[in-house]
Structure 1
């Protein structure tokens, strides 16, 4: 920092400084804009179309689209539309990044859901969420006394709720789950390893068994 300040002083050029804490506090861009304006800088931002074309030239549109697809799948698989997102954001390792990702995702999520509803369709994650609500509300009673779940380590919270509701609808039903927590690879799709490591806390100890 001292070297840069001396260099600009030597050449009589204007130095605009920013600081890491400003980024951490979410103030970096507003403060940078203010400092640039005070230095007489005039802004001529690119249009959305120009920015999109630049991204295409660098070949990152496809990668970004794939990332958003994974975010959309994870968001729906975890049924996050019905939870306190602010609590989830604050509990994340990087709250600012998660908040920014959700700000990008929400218009896409709404457009996607509107498109499904307009066509009278649902996707796989909708099937799970709707089934969970029907089972938890008692609108569907499972006819099965025994429920077996294989590859249990990859289960997500909504799917675990569905299994729990199905088992609960049978007074003398039993639940048997088979999984290996070392093989859990579907976190991007909403799987939660705590449902394996804390199995008894989620399902209770009676008429439930988890085999590794």
Structure 2
């Protein structure tokens, strides 16, 4: 990506009827190119046999250059040294390794980065909602949290703002998300309102004899609060 080199990750090759996935594949033409494999479990007898078979496989395809890396390659190399080593190797096979500027790299990853960041923030907000956190409670937790890096610190600062904005939006519009509905349901039942209505008729939670819960280990704290509220109003259930 940084050097504008088009590659395929785990591109499949057919090998005696087996769908073999190489680590990285760089095409230099039709049905030719460079294959990079990282042999990370070097030393294991079975793994060594498999590695030798891969080496033999690529020796039978002269249009493909085989580059292998291992823990020994990285053991005494710094990141910069390893990148320089790989660059020299690729340039030896005619690949132009010209590093893009930060702006050029950002243009390439922008949509993917924004999409990933959005999903992470969405997950963060959902976790906070499932813990019934107010924006003040979240701020207190973050203030007492020791961040492992500047990146984590910056993320939490932004995530707090997004969470606060999300709560404000729900309050302003009168809308509610699923976690908010769960919170309200538990509160309503805990207040003593146990009669419910549905298309097939009405019912009363106090009349329940059994509560059957499937996959309880995957339930959130909100579900647990809801069950607790029902059992407070109906201890015999």
**TM-score by structure 2 length?**
0.42
Higher strand fraction (1 or 2): 2
Asked which structure has the greater CA Rg, the reply is 2
Higher helix fraction (1 or 2): 1
